């Protein structure tokens, strides 16, 4: 079993950039390497970009790519950056896959792009995900707002913008 942490990038607000002229958000490249450097991380992390999509535009084929790559990963510790609007749906698809039962998989995202600087929650969510992936038992989890949630007991509260347990 490999000792590194696999990090899969799928897009979402986490990696969006801001066009100062049009005011639109867009994808260019992931910010993850810069974030790990800024955070002075000494962990062995392999970053692989699977796609750069907004989760509202994510398809079943995109989810199949995520599941497939998690199954192929030689490590048992995986973090997936993902858009927050459909993060629970992807977690559910991962949980259906029997070949992942020995892996700890954390899905995380951001409500505000990292490119917005200190107002982004992405840096905090990434740090929490790194801690949780090293300490939680195998399973599928969503990590937001400094907390982790089991994949089948979480929702995004659309009124508050926070993630919360169902019961």
pTM over 0.85: yes
Residue 106 pLDDT: 98
Residue appearing with tokens 């505000």:
112
* Annotated domain spans of the chain: 5-164
More confident site: 44 or 26: 44
Q: In the 8-state DSSP scheme, what is residue 58?
A: -
CATH of 5-164, one of 3.40.190.170, 3.40.50.300, 3.40.50.1170, 3.40.640.10: 3.40.50.1170
Instruction: State pLDDT tens for residues 97-154.
Output: 988 999 999 999 887 656 655 666 667 888 899 999 999 999 999 999 999 999 999 9
Q: Which residues are CB-contacts of 112 (< 8 A; sequence separation ≥ 6)?
A: 13, 119, 120, 121, 122
Helices (H), the chain: 32-38, 60-72, 87-96, 122-135
Cα 14 from Cα 30, distance rounded (Å): 8
Instruction: State pLDDT tens for residues 139-164.
Output: 999 999 999 999 999 999 999 988 99
Q: Are 82 and 13 in contact (CB under 8 A)?
A: no
Cα 81 from Cα 87, distance rounded (Å): 9
């Amino acid at each position: 079993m490999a000792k590194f942490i696999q990090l899969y990038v799928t897009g979402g607000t986490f990696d969006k950039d801001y066009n100062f002229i049009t005011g639109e958000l867009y994808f260019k490249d992931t910010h993850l390497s810069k974030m790990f450097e800024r955070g002075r991380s000494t962990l062995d992390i392999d970053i692989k970009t699977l796609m750069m999509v907004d989760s509202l535009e994510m398809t079943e084929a995109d989810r199949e790519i995520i599941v497939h790559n998690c199954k192929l990963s030689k490590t048992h510790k995986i973090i997936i950056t993902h858009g927050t609007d459909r993060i629970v749906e992807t977690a559910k698809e991962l949980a259906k896959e029997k070949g992942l039962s020995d892996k700890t998989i954390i899905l995380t995202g951001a409500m505000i792009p990292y490119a917005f600087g200190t107002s982004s929650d992405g840096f905090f969510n990434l740090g929490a995900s790194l801690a949780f992936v090293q300490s939680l038992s195998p399973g599928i989890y969503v990590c937001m707002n400094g907390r982790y949630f089991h994949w089948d007991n979480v929702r995004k509260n659309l009124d508050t913008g926070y993630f919360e347990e169902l019961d």
